[in-house]
Structure 1
């Protein structure tokens, strides 16, 4: 994880926007939010964040993994690429955003940081693996795919997998809800305590409703999948060859998980500052971690499954 803690708050108008890269911490069947205590979990996730994952320290971010399904019925995990906006050398992972309104300002509104992690600390999910039709997918405006010409491509945003090979790969974008009910740090479905007013492409979210009145940071993930190595293997009938790690070949069910664990009040101080993106690093006001140290951060492989070869069946899925 790139940023660790806050050293001081800056004086001036608050318009903070945070963006940092998290190298891949682990790729295995773990999910302490939806399936706590289950080892292994039902499907594979890519996990980034602090190396105390599944314990109590630092924030963690994880998503379902993308696989390519060959016409012969075998599966290959799609590698993760580094985002071009980040320092060179990051080992895959995701780009994480904490914005207040958009990329330019805080919208003149108070942003309340998530509550510090504890045994019942703040957590949430976005999207659902049970989404099974295009109309419902279009309603989840925070969950989108981008067919990349190159790593700087950001439009158009699609509610499902691209329908043709993409020259630069595929990006998954996941915007979490940012309106909190001011009561619950979690809920049985991991999202009812939050309300999503996010719009497309990092545009300003709508106002929070009375039921969820507290505006929190807008968390978003970007994951770049290197699908280019499979471009010459697409089925001749043009059907989609990509499958999420729980066995669904529609992008509708893509989802993401978040557990908050920033130390002390560091995130609140960051939201109260006026730094933007890279200007927030190197103690202005957040401490940063170099790429070499970040890439060394890892967690023990607790499942020990082969995730790199061509597989006859997806890990955790029945034959």
Structure 2
């Protein structure tokens, strides 16, 4: 069955139950070798990330979360909702050519039955719900996935997956719901693929106490069921049901597969993430930063897709506005063009 049909049925069911989902674009704020969750206060962290969201993002923002009020300190956001000053980041996909050089894979906005999202690099964000949910609290952060994972079978395909697109267009949109059917944990590398869609679904159950945990995951958990459903029932250890966050990224690999002179001849997968690892190491980081209670109101008032929602006080910006929200690298280094090696290496404290 076509995903368009599935989505239409799902949206009708959601509307009938008085439920909806936010789905919006975020352009790249910066591509930088920093990670304030895992490596606070440090630059040239082990691998490169692409970051989106509020422009107060910096390496020390979580050393004292109470002192870093994202909505107050950010003057713009690279996401389409003006009130969302959160930060979201993922690893970066590279193509490794036959001669051993690397090039960052470009990205494009996603389409589908809910309409096309426009972004300059970056990713698309979903906030979904099933029943009543409680918004995140200021200072909350979490990670989905494991940047060191090398084994596909150790990853739940219902939470982290990749899909091969045989066209550079996603219309008609064919396939099942995210992370279902022929989707794989590993990165596809069939030359028939023209784009790769990456999906990361975050835990939606919280212990109700801790804004973070030592591994940045133990304070949250996945509930019953799997996939992009809005989240099932939560376990007693993590009883607070949160909005289910999903990242979607569209990597445009068409120019690489079209050039046989650079495609590897040894049968290896030329597509890797910035850890120099495959799809099982895909991961996402999240720091909550919506203004006031706007996210809670958006969930309570069934605000839908990327539309302004006056009942929640959220306003959609034009893509020219959120595209223009950028910051400079805190760990300056080349990330574009053909690179002799991936940006990998040791940590350094700011100023060293």
User: Shorter-chain TM-score: what band?
Assistant: 0.7 to 0.9
Pairing 1:245–2:274 present? yes
Per-residue displacement from partner, 1:36-90 (whole Å, max 9, x unpaired)? 1001222110111111112441200000000111121111111111112565652
CA gap of 1:303–1:226, structure 2 versus 1, over 3 A, is same
Q: Deviations over 1:2-39 (max 9, x none)?
A: xxxxxxxxxx9741311110111111112111111001
Equivalent residue for 2:327?
299
SS at match of 2:120: coil
Preserved contact between residue 185 and residue 280 of structure 2 (Cα < 8 Å): yes
Q: Structure 1 residues 153, 306: CA separation in 2 closer, same or farther (over 3 Å shift)?
A: farther
Contact 1:13-1:274 at 8 Å conserved across structures: no
- Following superposition of structure 1 onto structure 2, how do residues 1-319 of structure 1 map, counting pairs within 5 Å? 14-54=18-58, 55=61, 56=68, 57=70, 58-84=85-111, 89-101=118-130, 109-116=131-138, 121-137=139-155, 139=156, 141-149=158-166, 150-151=169-170, 152-155=173-176, 156-197=182-223, 201-231=227-257, 232=259, 233-248=262-277, 250-278=278-306, 280-281=307-308, 283=310, 285=312, 286-317=314-345
- Report 1 or 2 for greater relative contact order, CA contacts < 8 Å, sequence distance ≥ 6: 1
Relative distance call for 1:142 and 1:192 in structure 2 (3 A) is same
Greater CA drift, 158-167 or 172-181:
158-167
Give me the CA root mean square deviation. Answer: 2.1
> What's the TM-score, normalizing by structure 2?
0.78
SS class of match (1:184) = coil
In 1, Cα distance between the equivalents of 2:165 and 2:226? 17
Deviation at residue 234 of structure 1 after TM alignment: 3.1
Name structure 1 gaps, 5 residues minimum.
1-11, 102-108
Give the gaps of 5 or more residues in structure 2.
1-15, 62-67, 71-84, 177-181, 347-352
CA distance in 2, matches of 1:282, 1:270: 7
Equivalent pairs, count: 293
